[in-house]
Every structure is written in structure tokens, then in C-alpha cells.
């Protein structure tokens, strides 16, 4: 039986084709009537007409044909389902495919991270700029209204074991993710079940995986740095659910930023005029060697469809993010020194403060790496390890690429005099989570709730029924504050904390007593159980506070 989504899609396509057929009939009818005079048909002999024949000539395949045949088998169609909230709760899929509550990830909030000033969030973008290639059909926006929401997108296989790269927004909020290969039968219901390996909101990239008993075809990742404006490119994807669609164009521009401020500081796109539309999201942009040099991500449109401007995340960025997402942590770790600055300062500021290139520090994160190293607001960062810094993007990219715990030497101008400082790189998520949570923690401390203040969670005692199911008492997590210590450790609403640092937390008094003694720098280990899967036993999760 076809799904509701398939029936609606078929009905739409049928409506289009019926309309075209009707128009064609009208045209033919009009042409026939033209032969009549005053309503009387005129008989015309066609005995002298020569029948047409198909010429058997061979057109040599061009590079686009070769690339489509070579790469096509590794390009997949991705469809997702978001269940009604009364079915899925307020949750979505875990990394193992189960429907369960998921807290906000670091970066959900509109925090300014390393870059401050004029910011445009996704909601502030012009209507014509859409990152919607995995977008839902207009009448399939379920999820909140009791309807199942379905969306479509694309992806490509990079590992024969079934690892696939796509866009984060294609699988965002999805409870179920399915993948269809080019060799899968069309009548296959939904496709192969996929599981999320990891995602990175900052670059809108995600890695998913399907199980396979045989090696799958893969693509090659090319060097996006060597791609040039004017180079031919080819895009493959599933626009409007039409799988394996191939379009071609050129690279129109490079290093294009479409979101200002912190939201766009890790997004420097390849711009192309290759036709890409809703459903192309996550598909590959290929050079003439058949190598992926970008992941199609966004378009500029006033109509909701293709208008000549598409944007793809460069492959060099994709490779770095992918390698982090398949690591044991399944997350992208970026360095930070905990400063804020305003990009695009006027020339007057540069002249008054006496610098041409560099970054003027506006604010220092309290307790962050920069403050510990002695940096001050008003300092001008001019070099990193002896290399001149051009601007804020240059500074952010350089520091973000460093691993937390490593050290850098900053060249500074302070009150017109040169100086320097050695700074130990921090984890970007933690540095700015600490900044965003300082006031919240202070408020919570005044309320006397150590769980909220120190861990970022709200808990309550489990019900007797849950305790019986688990054969243990504990505190069930009701909410997790984005960017908090608990969030960074992967704690999720619905899980039950049985012990903290081997100390029982069977009731609120025990929990508050154990957590209340924790201080910055302490190792914290949670013993967690999942009431939905009590047979899985205890999971040990920990980190340093």
C-alpha cells in the first residue's frame, strides 16, 4: 500500500501531466479546425509525404555523461519522517534510531561565539534565501498538529560500509530516516533504515549510516581549494523527489558567506549556477574529474525554486567535519580563546587605533583562556605564532582549527605599543557555554538547586512503577540546559540517574547532597539507566566539571 505522501505526490504529478495533456489537445484541436472552412472539413491528400525514419548515429558521450554514470550509483535519496508529538513525545531520534527526547545541542542558542556585532540569524534572512532542499511539501508540515511530516533530500556514500554525507537540515528533528540507493526498486516502500552518526550545526553537515552486507559504491572527495571561478561543475540529487537528476553549470564565486555574524563564520560556500532545487540538499557538486568539491546546501530564490544562485559547502571543510563526526566523540571540536569582537570595523577605527590588519578585542570572556593569559578589551591581535592576521574570519578559522589544550603565541598592540601573550586554547563549546550559563547559574544558586546550578539539569524522583521496572530508585531528568555540563556529557531528558560518583541518588535529598559538594575541576561520573530499555543495564557517563 502506498503511503499518504506517495499518493499525494503521485496526485500532484498526475495533475500536472493531465494539464499538459489538456493543453496539447487544445492546440491540436485548434490546428485541425484551421483546416476547415465555415465548419466544413477539407480532405487533403498526403500520398506524396515521405515517412520519417530514425537515424542510427552515435553521439560520443561528453564528460557530464561519464561523470553521471560513474558517480550516480553513489548518490542516494533520503526521506525522513517526523512523528506527531503525541507519538514521539517532545523528542526525536537518538544516534541509535530510537525515538527519545533530545535536548538542544550546543549552538542551538543565538550566542555570539568569537565574533560579535551585527548578526543575522536564520530567521532574519531575506525570504528569498532558503536552505530548504530537504523541505517538506506545503501540506505535509505535520509534527505539531498530529500529522506525520515527511521531507526529502539527497546524500552520497563515502565509505563502502554505508557511511553517507548529507546536510544536517535534511535529518533535523526526524524520528525516522530512510535511504534509497539508485539500484533499489522503485516500489520499495520507504528505503533502508539509516542511523545518525553525528552532525555539526555550524556547517550544516551530518553523517548517517545504513547497514549493508556488500560493499557499496562510493564517491571521491576532491580539493575545493584548487577549484576556480568559471570551472564546469555537475550536480546530482533528487529535486522534487525526482531521483538521480543531473544538472550542470559553472562555479560562479568562492568563499561566499550568506549569513552574517557568528551563525555564518564557519560557512564559506562555493556559489554555482548549476540548477539545484528542493530535494537537492545534501547532494554532491562535482568537478570534471568526477570528484565531489561541495555539498549542495542553500539557494537564493524569490520564487521558492531555482533562480541561478546555489551554494555548496566546500569539500575541504566537509572532510574535516566528517573525520570529527566519525571519531569516538561524534562531534566537531573547535578551539577558542574566549574573546568577542565586531567584524567589518570602519576605516576610521583602524586609523585612530593605528592598525591596518588585525582584530580589535571588544570583550573578554570571564575566566576564559584570553583572560587567563592577560588579554584586555582594546587589545589589537595582529599575529598568531608570527603569522599576520588579516581579519576576524582569519582569526576565527586559525584558532578554531587548533585543538583544545594546545598553546599559541599572540602578537598584540596595546595602547600603541607591541606586546605578546601565550594563550592555551579552550574548547569553543565549553568556553561560551560557561559564559552563557553564568547568570543562570547565579540565579539557580540563589534558588538553592545544585542540579540546575552546577550540572544544568532539572530532576525529580522516579515513580514507584519506574523504580520497580529498573529495580533501583533514582532521579529522572526532566530537562537539560543547552550548553551545560550535563548537555556536553550527552545526558538526555527521560534518563534516570542512579548514582553520582558512586554515591546513591535515590531521592532529592541524596541527589542535592552529592551534587552540592561538586566544584569546578572535579571528575563527575553518572550511572544512568533508560526506563524504556531497562534490560540494557547501567550506562556510565562522565567528564570533568
One-character DSSP codes across 244-308: SEEEEEEEEEEEE--S-GGGGTT--EEEE-S---TT-TT-EEE-TTSEEEEEEEEEE-SSSS--S
Measured in whole angstroms, how far is the alpha carbon of residue 107 from the centre of its chain? 11
CATH number of 70-110+130-210: 2.40.10.10
Q: Is 204 a catalytic residue?
A: yes
* CATH architecture of residue range(s) 220-325: Beta Barrel (2.40)
The pLDDT > 90 percentage for the chain reads 37
pLDDT of the residue at 11: 53
Return the percent helix, strand and coil in the chain, to nearest 5: 25, 30, 45
In whole angstroms, give the CA distance from residue 409 to residue 327. Answer: 29
Maximum mean pLDDT: which of 100-114, 309-323, 450-464: 309-323
pLDDT of the residue at 365: 86
Please give the grid coordinates belonging to residue 457: 539539569
> Cα dihedral sign for 426, 166, 176, 143?
positive
In whole angstroms, give the CA distance from residue 218 to residue 75. Answer: 8
Q: Is 169 a catalytic residue?
A: yes
Which among 257, 274, 276 has a CA at the least distance from the CA of 266? 257
pLDDT band at 85 (very low <50, low <70, confident <90, very high): low
Checking if the pLDDT of 336 tops 50, the result is yes
Going by the DSSP 8-state scheme, the letter that residue 261 receives in this structure is G
pLDDT of the residue at 236: 92
- Same topology, domains 220-325 and 335-429? Answer is no
- Of the two residues 250 and 492, the one the predictor is more confident about is 250
* CATH architecture of residue range(s) 448-544: Roll (2.30)
Domain residue limits, the chain: 70-110+130-210, 220-325, 335-429, 448-544
Going by the DSSP 8-state scheme, the letter that residue 453 receives in this structure is I
Checking if the pLDDT of 122 tops 60, the result is no
Average pLDDT (513-526) is 88
Which of 112, 114, 200, 204 is an active site residue? 204
pLDDT band at 124 (very low <50, low <70, confident <90, very high): very low
User: What is the three-class DSSP state of 279?
Assistant: coil
In whole angstroms, give the CA distance from residue 396 to residue 343. Answer: 11
For the entire predicted model, the pTM comes to 0.63
Contact 193, 199 (CB under 8 A): no
pLDDT of the residue at 10: 55
Checking if the pLDDT of 289 tops 90, the result is yes
In whole angstroms, give the CA distance from residue 442 to residue 446. Answer: 6
Which of 151, 154, 281, 315 is an active site residue? 281
**pLDDT tens digits, residue range 209-234?**
999 999 999 999 999 999 999 999 99
Please give the grid coordinates belonging to residue 418: 607591541
Checking if the pLDDT of 94 tops 70, the result is no
Neighbours of 141 (CB within 10 A): 15
pLDDT of the residue at 6: 53
Checking if the pLDDT of 146 tops 80, the result is no
pLDDT of the residue at 82: 79
- Of the two residues 168 and 340, the one the predictor is more confident about is 168
Which of 112, 154, 169, 324 is an active site residue? 169
Going by the DSSP 8-state scheme, the letter that residue 37 receives in this structure is B
CA triple 349-423-351, angle to 5 deg = 10
Please give the grid coordinates belonging to residue 187: 516500489
Average pLDDT (441-470) is 78
Q: Is 124 a catalytic residue?
A: no
In whole angstroms, give the CA distance from residue 198 to residue 242. Answer: 27
**pLDDT tens digits, residue range 7-47?**
545 555 444 433 333 333 443 444 444 445 455 567 889 99
pLDDT of the residue at 2: 47
**pLDDT tens digits, residue range 159-205?**
999 999 999 999 988 888 999 998 887 766 678 999 999 999 889 99
- 3.40.50.10420, 2.30.30.30, 2.30.42.10, 1.10.1740.10: CATH of 335-429: 2.30.42.10
User: What is the three-class DSSP state of 240?
Assistant: helix
- Which residues are paired to 336 by β-bridges? 426
- Of the two residues 398 and 449, the one the predictor is more confident about is 398
- Which residues are paired to 337 by β-bridges? none
In whole angstroms, give the CA distance from residue 451 to residue 144. Answer: 30
Which pairing describes strands 523-529 and 309-314: parallel, antiparallel, or unpaired? unpaired
Average pLDDT (320-340) is 91
**pLDDT tens digits, residue range 370-411?**
999 999 988 999 999 999 988 888 898 899 889 899 999 999
Separation in Å, CA 187 to CA 157, 180, 184, 226, 246:
22, 11, 9, 42, 22
Separation in Å, CA 17 to CA 7, 14, 30, 47, 165:
15, 5, 20, 35, 34
Average pLDDT, the chain: 78
Amino acid at each position: 500500500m502506498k503511503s499518504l505522501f506517495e499518493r499525494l505526490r503521485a496526485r500532484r504529478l498526475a495533475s500536472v501531466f493531465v494539464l499538459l495533456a489538456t493543453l496539447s489537445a487544445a492546440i491540436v484541436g485548434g490546428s485541425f479546425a484551421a483546416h476547415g472552412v465555415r465548419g466544413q472539413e477539407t480532405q487533403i491528400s498526403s500520398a506524396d509525404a515521405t515517412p520519417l525514419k530514425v537515424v542510427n548515429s552515435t553521439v560520443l558521450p561528453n564528460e557530464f555523461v561519464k561523470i553521471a554514470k560513474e558517480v550516480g550509483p553513489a548518490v542516494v535519496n533520503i526521506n525522513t519522517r517526523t512523528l506527531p508529538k503525541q507519538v514521539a513525545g517532545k523528542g526525536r531520534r537518538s544516534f541509535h534510531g530510537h525515538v527519545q527526547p533530545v535536548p538542544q545541542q550546543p549552538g542551538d542558542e543565538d550566542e555570539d561565539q568569537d565574533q560579535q556585532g551585527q548578526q543575522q540569524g536564520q530567521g532574519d534572512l531575506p525570504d528569498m534565501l532558503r536552505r530548504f532542499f530537504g523541505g517538506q511539501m506545503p501540506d505535509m508540515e505535520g509534527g505539531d498538529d498530529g500529522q506525520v511530516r515527511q521531507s526529502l533530500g539527497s546524500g552520497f556514500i563515502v565509505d563502502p560500509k554505508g557511511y553517507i554525507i548529507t546536510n544536517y537540515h535534511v535529518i533535523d528533528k526526524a524520528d525516522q530516516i530512510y535511504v534509497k540507493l539508485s539500484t533499489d526498486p522503485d516500489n520499495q516502500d520507504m528505503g533502508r533504515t539509516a542511523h545518525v552518526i553525528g552532525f555539526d550545526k555550524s556547517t550544516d553537515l551530518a553523517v548517517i549510516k545504513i547497514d549493508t552486507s556488500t560493499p557499496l559504491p562510493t564517491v571521491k572527495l576532491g580539493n575545493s581549494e584548487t577549484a576556480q571561478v568559471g570551472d564546469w561543475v555537475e550536480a546530482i540529487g533528487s529535486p522534487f523527489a525526482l531521483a538521480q537528476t543531473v544538472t550542470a553549470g559553472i562555479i560562479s564565486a568562492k568563499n561566499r558567506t550568506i549569513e552574517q555574524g557568528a551563525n555564518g563564520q564557519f560557512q564559506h560556500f562555493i556559489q554555482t549556477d548549476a540548477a539545484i532545487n528542493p530535494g537537492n540538499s545534501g547532494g554532491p557538486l562535482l568537478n570534471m574529474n568526477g570528484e565531489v568539491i561541495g555539498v549542495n546546501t542553500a539557494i537564493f530564490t524569490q520564487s521558492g525554486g531555482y533562480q541561478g544562485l546555489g551554494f555548496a559547502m566546500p569539500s575541504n571543510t566537509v572532510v574535516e567535519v566528517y573525520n570529527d563526526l566519525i571519531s569516538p566523540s561524534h562531534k566537531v571540536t573547535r578551539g577558542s580563546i574566549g574573546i568577542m569582537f565586531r567584524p567589518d570595523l570602519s576605516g576610521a577605527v583602524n586609523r585612530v587605533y593605528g592598525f591596518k590588519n588585525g582584530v580589535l578585542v571588544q570583550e573578554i570572556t570571564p575566566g576564559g583562556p584570553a583572560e587567563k593569559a592577560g588579554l584586555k578589551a582594546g587589545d589589537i591581535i595582529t599575529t598568531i605564532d608570527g603569522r599576520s592576521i588579516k581579519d576576524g574570519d582569519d582569526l576565527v578559522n586559525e584558532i578554531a582549527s587548533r585543538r583544545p589544550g594546545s598553546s599559541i603565541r599572540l602578537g598584540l598592540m596595546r595602547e600603541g605599543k607591541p606586546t605578546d601573550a601565550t594563550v592555551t586554547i579552550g574548547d569553543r563549546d565549553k568556553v561560551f557555554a560557561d559564559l552563557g550559563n553564568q547568570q543562570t547559574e547565579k540565579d539557580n544558586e540563589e534558588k538553592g538547586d545544585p542540579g540546575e546550578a552546577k550540572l544544568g539539569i532539572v530532576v525529580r524522583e522516579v515513580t514507584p512503577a519506574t523504580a520497580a521496572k529498573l529495580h533501583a530508585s533514582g532521579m529522572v531528568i526532566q530537562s537539560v540546559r543547552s550548553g551545560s555540563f550535563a548537555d556536553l556529557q550527552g545526558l538526555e531528558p527521560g534518563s534516570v540517574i542512579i548514582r553520582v560518583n558512586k554515591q546513591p541518588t535515590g531521592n532529592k535529598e541524596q541527589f542535592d547532597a552529592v551534587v552540592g559538594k561538586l566544584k569546578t575541576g572535579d571528575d563527575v561520573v553518572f550511572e544512568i539507566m533508560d526506563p524504556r530499555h531497562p534490560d540494557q543495564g547501567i550506562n556510565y557517563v562522565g567528564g570533568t566539571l
